[in-house]
Each structure stands twice: as structure tokens, then as C-alpha cells.
Structure 1
Amino acid sequence: MEHLEPVKEFFQQISDHPIFRKTPEDEEAIVDQSITLCRDYINFKLAQGGLIHKRGTGPELDNFSEVSAHIIVTGFQLEQFHPSVYKDVCRKLHLNLSSDAVISDAVHEVANELFRGGINWPRIISLFVFTGALASECVASYHPDYVHTVTTSFRDVVERRLATWVLQRGGWVDVVTTVDGFRYNHSLRVQSIISAAVGFLVALLLTGTT
């Protein structure tokens, strides 16, 4: 369909980037990599929903970098555990998808709530899941041009709030080890961290931003 051409062009390149295999030199590198990670997550999300490819014909996890694949797997698990949180986000946030500013404000507002109590990987992954849900609803509502705004807004959040923390952890690759812990460690501590991350979104989406 013609209205999907912009988003298809946006996702022509998927990641298998050697930049994730070495320690980033500075925060600028963290920010640059975040664009690829966000685009990969949204690309996979849209493909799984049949929004840019026929179901079953989209990119496989093996097509992505290890970092992107881990974020995708954990994000989809988080969404499966809490499906009501990441569904109908535009309605819950009273978004009318009328402008780039509306989309950008929504991403920043959610980020403000998520990271108000601190930064950790579950909260960061929760932001990936939110951006994927928002981008999907933009495409489904015939506004694929807003997908780029979702991605750039995510990048801005990383630049302003997350880059220093991620760099101190050794870069985005740190999520690979951490995500393995969340997938296979069922301790109360891990469960409480994930629940806290989701809790921020629950509170925000129940009250809306307006």
C-alpha cells in the first residue's frame, strides 16, 4: 500500500553492526547507536504485526545485532506479561496523532515518568516497548510518517537522560548479560524491578498526560 512506502524506506537497513561489539568511546556513540536499536525494535514490531510485511515474511532475529535481538526478545516478553499496559496507548494518553509535536511530547512524558525514580535496564526496555507500540498505532492509523518522530524522540531521551548511564555500564552491550538474567533468573528481586518499570507506565497510562 502506498501509505506504507515511507516507513518501508525508513527500514531498508537492519542492523548487524560491529559498533556494538566494542566499548563506545563517548556519549555521542551511545546516542548514535540508540537510533539503530530503536529502529530495529520498531521494525520487528511492525513486521510481527503485519504492518509493513505479510505475517511470517519480515526480518528474523538472526538478521539483527545481538544487542537488538536481546532487546527485542525481552521487550516482547515484557509485553506478553503485561499486554494491557502496552495496548491502545494513544487512547490512554489521549493522543490525536495530529502533529510531530504531539508524538514527541508523548515519548518524553512517558520517559519522564519511567526514569523519575532512576535508571535501569528494565525501565529502558519498557521505553523500547512503548515506542514500538506507539509506532505501530501510528502506522495502523495511516500516519507512518510519525515513525521517524518516534525514533528521533527516543534518541533525544537517550541523549538527555540515558547516555551517561549506558556509557558507565560499558555501552548497550551490557544489556545482553543483564537481559539473560531477567530471562532465566526468577528471583523476587528481578521480578520486583520489572514490576516497578511496568508500574510507572501503568500509572501514566491510566491517568493520561492531559
Structure 2
Amino acid sequence: MEVLRRSSVFAAEAMYGFECLPTDKELMSQSKALCRDYILSRLHLAGLGWSKAELNLHMSSGSLSEVSAVLLCLGDELECMRPSVYKNVARQLNISVSIESMVTDAFLAVAAEIFSTGITWGKVVSLYAVAGALAVDCVQQGQPATVHTIIDSLGQFVRKFLAPWLKKRGGWMDITKCVVKSDPAPEPHWLASSTESFKYLLTTLYVYIMKEQ
């Protein structure tokens, strides 16, 4: 299954931004790379046919891999707390995933609503959870190409609305403060998104990571 092939360039572009204060363009590339990882993990969990070889072609590395691991860890926690919110998103929004413009408009509307009262890491995680769930809907309904639309829409939203907030925190690595490693030398696998697999322990409650900062 050909899904997300063109997004493979994001990981290479994204790594530069972790070495200095990232630009808007770098933050967008990093955000899209992280979205790709998040979506791939959700497609795998849904049993949508990705082989280990295909998955390894898209593995993130270095600092981006650590951020991706934490994002997935927090996403697992959030989705477990609110399972009904992050399933069948297309049906909840009453949209057809075969119409890319409709998917874009709906996703951006949800994103705007999530951040209407401020920005927190919890809300950022929620945005990725929505993207992941919507991508699963697209693939299940035979519209894998629309997944690219979701990734692009998230990247543009980050660049337009979240980049200043991310810059104030020094970039994406700040999200790692939401967890603490329980193993001094973990062997992270970006796809194994359970808290136990990543050997991370949450240091904050859902209410804490969702409150405005």
C-alpha cells in the first residue's frame, strides 16, 4: 500500500531545527514529520497492512525520534482517557473523506476550536490524535492519498498559529518535559507507542498538560 511516500523528506529537513532556534519553516517540517510518525503508528495499530520493512523506511532518528516517542506516549494516554473522541472522527464531523477540500476545512476548523482558548502541550497532543484518527478513517475508506492532505494541513496550521509558541519553548524538544525516562538507556522504537514500550512515565496528569501555560 502506497501511503505517505512523499513525506519521507521531512525527517531529514527536521533535524537541523533541533540544533538551534528553529525557523517557522523548520517547525513546519518537524511538525509534518511528527504527524507522519503519529499517523503511521495509528495505521499499524489499526492493522492496515504496513510491513516492518515499509515502516523502517520511515523511522525518525535522533532528537526527532525522542520527540516522536513522547508525542505518541502522551497520545496513548489522551486517547485512553477520551476514546470516543478520537475514533470515527470523519463520521463525527459528518464529512466525506473522498473530498480533500472537505477534509482540510474540517480538520482546520477542529484545530482552531482546540486552540480557541489558548495553547498547551495537551492541546497539541490532541491535534495529533485527531489527525491520526482521521487518517485511519481515510485509509479504511479507501482514500489513502487524503492522508497527505491531513499532514499538509497540520503543518500549515502549526506554521501559521503555533510557531511563535513553539519558539518561546525552544522548539519541539520542550514536550519531553512532560515525561521522565524510567530507564537511563532505553531502546526506543518509534512505533511501539505504549507507555511501557517507550519506558516513559508520565509526570503530569491530563488536567495539568491541558491547562493553559
Q: What's the TM-score, normalizing by structure 1?
A: 0.78
Counterpart in the other structure of 1:204: none
> How far is the alpha carbon of 1:9 from its aligned partner?
2.8
Partner amino acid, structure 2, of 1:41: Y
**Distance in 2 between residues matched to 1:38 and 1:148, nearest whole Å:** 10
**Is contact 1:24–1:171 with CA below 8 Å preserved after alignment?**
yes
The more displaced of 8-17 and 119-128 is 8-17
1:82-113 alpha-carbon deviations (Å, 9 max, x no partner): 11110111111101223111111111111111
- The alignment partner of 1:173 has SS state of helix
**Is contact 1:42–1:135 with CA below 8 Å preserved after alignment?**
yes
1:22-63 alpha-carbon deviations (Å, 9 max, x no partner): 2334222111211111111111111222213259x955xx86
**Is contact 2:71–2:125 with CA below 8 Å preserved after alignment?**
yes
Map 1:156-171; keep pairs closer than 5 Å: 156-171=156-171
User: Any unmatched runs of 5+ in structure 2?
Assistant: 182-199
Counterpart in the other structure of 2:202: 184
Q: 1:50 and 2:19 equivalent?
A: no
Aligned-pair identity in percent equals 34
**Distance in 2 between residues matched to 1:76 and 1:9, nearest whole Å:** 25
Larger % of helix: which?
1
Query: Alpha carbons of 1:28 and 1:63: their partners in 2 closer, same or farther (altered >3 Å)?
Result: closer
**Is contact 2:10–2:32 with CA below 8 Å preserved after alignment?**
no
User: Any unmatched runs of 5+ in structure 1?
Assistant: 198-210
Partner amino acid, structure 2, of 1:71: L
Q: CA RMSD in A?
A: 3.0
Q: 1:40 and 2:23 equivalent?
A: no
Partner amino acid, structure 2, of 1:141: Q
Partner amino acid, structure 1, of 2:33: T
Q: What's the TM-score, normalizing by structure 2?
A: 0.77
